[in-house]
């Protein structure tokens, strides 16, 4: 029997450490428990929010007035060169398991927080690789509004092949369809040298801590905005001259644009544009979600007005 709890604080379950209460909250560790949780939501006419590692969300100060389903389905089985894992497994866990078994291909994910489910939905990645590179198939639960009046919803379990997942830059079919709950996935890897894999993982984590991640005392949700595609050739030339990097596919890092408008270090309440990486908005002490929203609005406005580029959020707003 599932334990549905009431009025659970969501802030500690997010990397931002911000947000109000979940009116209803449940942790699920199997497909059956996910189904039970959905039954509860339907019976009580509640909106649901699927929570992974909480590393790519901003929860409203008013919390979430529905049922938060926290994915703790953490099974992880290695079959020769593939890994079959529940969506609640941490990315760090599968990186560790693959290295331990001499499997290469997931090194890019080293140091990225969150679960496999969250990473699939957002096609998490770095320039070196992304979730789509490893996906063989994804098992989902789809809840559709029923045409039969006496039944509210139809639940369908489906397995999507990689081509059906419509992966793009930080996007997927799962992001477009909020009725899709990712249950598990099969990831494909290849045999590699255990020592080399571990060395690569160590290097990537060290580099992240040195150049990307803000101070651990300044919680964040990772990159706040997606890197926009820009068609202003002068801006692209400025970026390339300034950084010595290429704007691949016309994309310019959001952090560079935020720096250009002078917002590195800008504070509103407890929210600040990170001094270390301008695309990280950080919680420098008891920030309210409202502080983050105001700071992100200022960033969007200045980048749009001064550089003519529209930024869009990589993070997901919950309960707004
Ligand atoms: C310090 C730091 C560094 C980061 N670096 C990177 C990086 O380099 N690259 C990168 O891409 N991201 C990065 N991120 C962002 C984040 O770690 C990833 O986006 C991660 O994949 C989110 O996974 P999650 O489990 O935490 O998702 P959550 O934050 O819990 O949820 C995000 C979204 O996914 C949905 N979701 C979660 N699980 C499921 C599921 N099973 N089925 C359906 N929907 C689901 C949620 O409903 C929500 O809409 C970073 C974050 C931090 C804090």
Within a domain: 37: yes
Count up the domains in the chain and report the number.
3
pLDDT at 209: 87
Query: Is-catalytic flag, 314?
Result: yes
Contacts of 25 (CB under 8 A, 6+ apart): 4, 5, 6, 8, 67, 68, 70
* CA-219 nearest atom, ligand 1: 53
> Does residue 171 share a domain with residue 249?
no
Catalytic residue among 170, 184, 220, 274: 170
Domain extent at residue 183 = 76-196
pLDDT digits (tens, 9 = 90+) for 85-138: 999 999 999 999 999 999 999 999 999 999 999 999 999 999 899 999 999 999
CA of 296: how far to CAs of 13, 185, 220, 282, in Å?
Answer: 22, 33, 13, 11
Within a domain: 203: no
Instruction: Report the separation in Å between the CA atom of 63 and the middle of ligand 1, taken as the mean of its atom positions.
Output: 19
Residue nearest to atom 17 of ligand 1 (CA): 113
Instruction: Report the separation in Å between the CA atom of 132 and the middle of ligand 1, taken as the mean of its atom positions.
Output: 14
> Does residue 85 share a domain with residue 59?
no
Query: Is-catalytic flag, 121?
Result: no
Instruction: Extract the runs of DSSP E, i.e. beta strands, from 135-198.
Output: 135-145, 153-161, 180-188, 190-191
> Does residue 67 share a domain with residue 82?
no
Q: Is the CB of 181 under 6 A from ligand 1?
A: yes
Instruction: Report the separation in Å between the CA atom of 122 and the middle of ligand 1, taken as the mean of its atom positions.
Output: 7
Residue nearest to atom 52 of ligand 1 (CA): 222
Within a domain: 99: yes
Contacts of 99 (CB under 8 A, 6+ apart): 194, 197, 198, 201
pLDDT digits (tens, 9 = 90+) for 224-243: 999 999 999 999 999 999 99
Flag whether pLDDT at 214 surpasses 90: no
**49 strand-pairing partners:** 68
User: What CATH number should be reported for the domain holding residue 9?
Assistant: 3.30.43.10
Measured distance CA(47)–CA(37) in Å, rounded: 11
Catalytic residue among 27, 107, 260, 314: 314
Provide φ and ψ at 252, rounded to 5°.
Answer: -115, 135
Averaged pLDDT for residues 158-186: 96
pLDDT at 212: 78
Measured distance CA(174)–CA(123) in Å, rounded: 10
* CA-120 nearest atom, ligand 1: 21
CA of 252: how far to CAs of 37, 116, 271, in Å?
Answer: 42, 27, 24
pLDDT at 149: 56
Instruction: Report the separation in Å between the CA atom of 56 and the middle of ligand 1, taken as the mean of its atom positions.
Output: 4
Averaged pLDDT for residues 245-257: 94
Within a domain: 204: no
pLDDT at 151: 59
pLDDT at 148: 62
Instruction: Report the separation in Å between the CA atom of 6 and the middle of ligand 1, taken as the mean of its atom positions.
Output: 24
| Domain end point (choices 37, 71, 105) | 71
Q: Is the CB of 121 under 6 A from ligand 1?
A: yes
User: SS3 sequence, 221-250?
Assistant: EEECECCCECCCHHHHHHHHHHHCCCCHHH
Query: Is-catalytic flag, 70?
Result: no
**pTM of the predicted model as reported, rounded to 2 decimal places:** 0.95
pLDDT digits (tens, 9 = 90+) for 136-145: 999 999 977 6
Q: Is the CB of 283 under 6 A from ligand 1?
A: no
Residue nearest to atom 34 of ligand 1 (CA): 118
Instruction: Report the separation in Å between the CA atom of 234 and the middle of ligand 1, taken as the mean of its atom positions.
Output: 33
| Domain end point (choices 54, 71, 88) | 71
* CA-53 nearest atom, ligand 1: 26
Q: Is the CB of 52 under 6 A from ligand 1?
A: yes
Q: Is the CB of 219 under 6 A from ligand 1?
A: no
pLDDT at 80: 93
Within a domain: 206: no
pLDDT at 169: 92
**38 strand-pairing partners:** none
| Domain end point (choices 71, 98, 114) | 71
> Does residue 156 share a domain with residue 82?
yes
Averaged pLDDT for residues 272-298: 96
Within a domain: 208: no
pLDDT at 145: 60
pLDDT digits (tens, 9 = 90+) for 2-14: 999 999 999 999 9
Can you state the percent helix, strand and coil of the chain, rounding each to 5? 35, 30, 35
| Reported confidence tier of residue 178, pLDDT bands at 50, 70, 90 | confident
What is the residue whose two structure tokens read 């496999």? 116
- Percentage above 90 pLDDT, the chain: 90
pLDDT digits (tens, 9 = 90+) for 264-275: 999 999 999 999
């Amino acid at each position: 029997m599932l334990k549905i709890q009431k009025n659970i604080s969501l802030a500690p379950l997010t990397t931002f450490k911000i947000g109000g209460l979940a009116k209803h909250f449940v942790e699920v560790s199997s497909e059956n428990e996910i189904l039970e949780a959905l039954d509860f939501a339907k019976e009580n006419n509640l909106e649901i929010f699927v929570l992974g590692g909480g590393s790519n969300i901003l929860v409203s100060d008013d919390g979430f007035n529905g049922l938060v389903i926290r994915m703790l389905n953490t099974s992880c089985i290695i079959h020769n060169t593939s890994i079959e894992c529940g969506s609640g497994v941490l990315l760090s866990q599968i990186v560790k398991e693959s290295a331990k078994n001499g499997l290469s291909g997931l090194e890019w994910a080293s140091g990225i927080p969150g679960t496999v489910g969250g990473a699939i939905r957002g096609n998490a990645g770095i320039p070196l690789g992304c979730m789509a590179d490893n996906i063989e198939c994804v098992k989902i639960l789809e809840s559709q509004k029923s045409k039969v009046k006496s039944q509210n919803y139809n639940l369908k379990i489906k397995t999507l092949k990689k081509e059906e997942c419509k992966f793009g830059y930080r996007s997927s079919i799962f992001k477009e369809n909020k009725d899709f709950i990712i249950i598990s996935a099969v990831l494909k890897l290849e045999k590699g040298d255990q020592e080399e894999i571990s060395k690569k993982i160590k290097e990537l984590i060290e580099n992240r801590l040195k150049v990307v991640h803000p101070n651990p005392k300044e919680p964040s949700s990772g990159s706040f905005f997606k890197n926009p595609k820009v068609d202003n050739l002068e801006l692209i030339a400025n970026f390339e001259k300034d950084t010595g990097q290429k704007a691949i596919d016309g994309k310019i890092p959001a952090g560079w644009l935020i720096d250009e408008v002078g917002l590195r270090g800008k504070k509103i309440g407890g929210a600040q544009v990170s001094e270390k990486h301008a695309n990280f908005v950080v919680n420098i002490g008891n920030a309210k979600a409202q502080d983050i929203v105001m700071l992100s609005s200022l960033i969007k406005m200045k980048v749009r007005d001064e550089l003519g580029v529209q930024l869009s959020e990589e993070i997901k707003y919950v309960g707004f």
